[in-house]
Amino acid sequence: MGSGKDFVARLVLSIISNSLIMIAIFAIWRWGLPEMGINMHIYGLLTILVLFAIFSTLIFMVGTRALGRIGQVELSTMIGTTGKVAKIISPKNAEGLVNIKGELWTAESVEGNISPGEKVDVVGEDGMKLVVSRKQVNK
């Protein structure tokens, strides 16, 4: 997920940038809007600032989670992983989909058709597609 220093640096940068945005919103409310003949009550300003704070916190959380995900660099790193069929997979079918670690990948089967919901093992790659077989159950 990256180091703790990275997280702290992103958090500090987020707090500073969001504080500057809130100061800008206040300045617009205090001087910009009255200049245009628009008067907004203090409760309107507070509502905008609270909603912005909630929004920016959610964006920070989603961004931090996304940065913590381990990205797959190339298809060959997928060999040996297990996934679940999202859309029927058949031999030489460019439309088959498999869900591996929350990501959808196009796939083809080395055996017959594999139905959605079945588990598969990645056994190879063919161009930009994964080659899969039914998950072998150990007895």
List, for residues 36-64, the tens digit of each pLDDT value. 999 999 999 999 999 999 999 999 999 98
pLDDT at 1: 46
Please tell me whether residues 12 and 37 are part of one structural domain. yes
Please tell me whether residues 83 and 59 are part of one structural domain. no
Give the whole-angstrom CA distance, residue 104 versus residue 106.
Answer: 7
Q: What is the DSSP letter of 57?
A: H
pLDDT at 95: 76
If one counts every other C-beta atom within 10 angstroms of the C-beta of residue 133, the result is 15
| Domain termination site, one of 13, 39, 68 | 68
Residue 129's domain spans which residues?
75-134
pLDDT at 2: 54
Closest alpha carbon to 30 in 21, 18, 20, 40: 40
Q: What percent of the chain has pLDDT over 70?
A: 91
pLDDT at 78: 84
* Binned average pLDDT, 10 residues per bin, the chain of 139 residues: 79 96 97 95 96 96 84 72 92 81 88 91 88 79
Please check whether residue 95 lies inside any domain of the structure: yes
Give the whole-angstrom CA distance, residue 107 versus residue 102.
Answer: 15
| Domain termination site, one of 33, 50, 68 | 68
pLDDT at 77: 78
Burial class (CB in 10 A: 0-12, 13-18, 19+), 29: buried
Q: Are strands 129-134 and 103-109 parallel, antiparallel or unpaired?
A: parallel
| Domain termination site, one of 12, 43, 68 | 68
CB 128 within 8 A of CB 72: no
Give the whole-angstrom CA distance, residue 134 versus residue 139.
Answer: 15
pLDDT at 82: 93
Please tell me whether residues 10 and 61 are part of one structural domain. yes
pTM of the model as a whole: 0.53
Please check whether residue 139 lies inside any domain of the structure: no
